[in-house]
C-alpha cells in the first residue's frame, strides 16, 4: 500500500518569493510521484511527474520537484512566486503496474501581493 | 484537442433522489477513471475502466453507486438513492492506455459538484 503526506494545508508566500510545498510518500516498491494543481472550480492539471528517470523533475509554469529516496520526499519548488500560482496543489503516488493514484490532502497556496 | 468533458457541472438534489453524471474522455484514451473529492481532501478513486471493462471497482459503494462505459468511450456514474454524505465533487479522468505505460498521465475533467440537501 502507498500513502502521501502533504505538510501544511495552507502556505502563504509573497509575490517573488520562493515557493516550497512539502510532500512525503510511503511505498513498499519504487514509486511514481506526481504533482497536480487545481484552480477553483476546475479539474486537476498535471504539473510534473517522476517515473524513475532523473531525480530532479522540471514541470510547467516554472515548477520543479526533487525525488529524494533517503528522505522519502518529493517537494515542489518554484524560485519566484507569481499571483497566478495561487491554487490548490496535490501530491500523488502511484506504483508500477497499478493505475491507482493515491492523493494527498492538498496544500492551498496563497500569494501575498 | 478537447479535454475531458463532464456534465452537468453542478447538481443540487434532495436526499433519496437519483442522480447521474456523464463523462466524455479525451479521444483515443482507453482508460477512464471516476474519482470522488470531498471538501478539503484529495481525490479518491471510485472505479477504473480499461475500454468497457471495469478493472478496479473496489472503492465503489455498490449498494447505491453504479457505473457503465458502453462501447468503451463515454461513461455514466449513477447514485440511487443519494445520501447527504454523497455531497462532493465527482471527477472523471482519462489516460491513453495503462497497459502500455504504467501510471500513464491522467487528464482530469472539471468535475461535477453534487450537493445533496
Percentage above 90 pLDDT, chain B:
74
* CB-neighbour burial class of residue A70 (10 A; exposed 0-12, middle 13-18, buried 19+): exposed
- Say whether residue A40 is in contact with chain B using an 8 A CB cutoff: no
Coil, helix or strand for A85?
helix
The dihedral built from the CA positions of residue B106, B96, A26 and B43, taken in this order, carries a sign that is positive
- Cβ-nearest to B56 among A45, A49, A100: A100
For chain B, where are the E strands, in sequence order?
A: 5-7, 10-13, 19-24, 31-37, 44-50, 53-56, 65-68, 75-79, 88-95, 107-108, 112-116
pLDDT of amino acid B72: 84
Q: Which residues of B fall below an 8 Å CB-CB distance to A?
A: 4, 9, 31, 33, 40-45, 48, 56, 91, 93, 95, 98, 102-111, 113
- Reading the block at residue B110, the C-alpha cell is 472539471
Position B100 pLDDT exceeds 70: no
Whole-number mean pLDDT of chain A?
92
- Say whether residue A31 is in contact with chain B using an 8 A CB cutoff: no
Q: Among A34, A101, A102, A108, pick the best mutation site for testing chain B contact (most B Cβ within 10 A).
A: A101
pLDDT of amino acid B103: 55
Rounded to the nearest 10°, the torsion over CA B79, B84, B88, B92 is: 0
Q: Minimal Cα–Cα distance from B108 to chain A, Å?
A: 5
Q: Are strands B44-50 and B53-56 parallel, antiparallel or unpaired?
A: antiparallel
Torsion region of B111: left, alpha or beta (phi above 0 gives left; psi -120 to 50 gives alpha):
left
pLDDT in tens, A83-105: 999 999 999 998 765 567 899 99
Number of Cα atoms under 13 Å in the Cβ half of residue A44? 32
Question: In the predicted model, what is the mean pLDDT of residues A48-72?
Answer: 92
- Say whether residue A96 is in contact with chain B using an 8 A CB cutoff: yes
Amino acid at each position: 500500500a502507498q500513502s502521501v503526506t502533504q505538510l501544511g494545508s495552507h502556505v502563504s508566500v509573497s509575490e517573488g518569493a520562493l515557493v516550497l510545498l512539502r510532500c512525503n510518500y510511503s511505498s513498499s516498491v519504487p514509486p511514481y510521484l506526481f504533482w497536480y494543481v487545481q484552480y477553483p472550480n476546475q479539474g486537476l492539471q498535471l504539473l510534473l511527474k517522476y517515473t524513475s528517470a532523473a531525480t530532479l523533475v522540471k514541470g510547467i509554469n516554472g515548477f520543479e520537484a526533487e525525488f529524494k529516496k533517503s528522505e522519502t520526499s518529493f517537494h515542489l519548488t518554484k524560485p519566484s512566486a507569481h499571483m497566478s500560482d495561487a491554487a490548490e496543489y496535490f501530491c500523488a503516488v502511484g506504483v508500477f503496474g497499478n493505475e491507482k493514484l493515491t492523493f494527498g490532502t492538498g496544500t492551498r497556496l496563497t500569494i501575498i501581493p | 484537442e478537447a479535454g475531458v468533458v463532464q456534465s452537468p457541472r453542478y447538481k443540487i438534489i434532495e436526499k433519496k433522489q437519483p442522480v447521474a453524471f456523464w463523462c466524455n474522455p479525451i479521444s483515443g484514451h482507453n482508460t477512464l477513471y471516476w474519482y470522488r473529492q470531498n471538501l478539503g481532501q484529495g481525490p479518491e478513486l471510485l472505479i477504473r475502466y480499461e475500454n468497457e471493462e471495469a478493472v478496479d471497482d473496489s472503492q465503489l459503494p455498490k449498494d447505491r453507486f453504479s457505473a457503465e462505459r458502453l462501447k468503451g468511450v463515454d461513461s455514466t456514474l449513477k447514485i440511487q438513492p443519494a445520501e447527504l454524505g454523497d455531497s462532493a465533487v465527482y471527477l472523471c479522468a482519462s489516460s491513453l492506455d495503462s497497459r502500455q505505460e504504467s501510471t500513464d498521465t491522467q487528464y482530469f475533467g472539471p468535475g461535477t459538484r453534487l450537493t445533496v440537501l
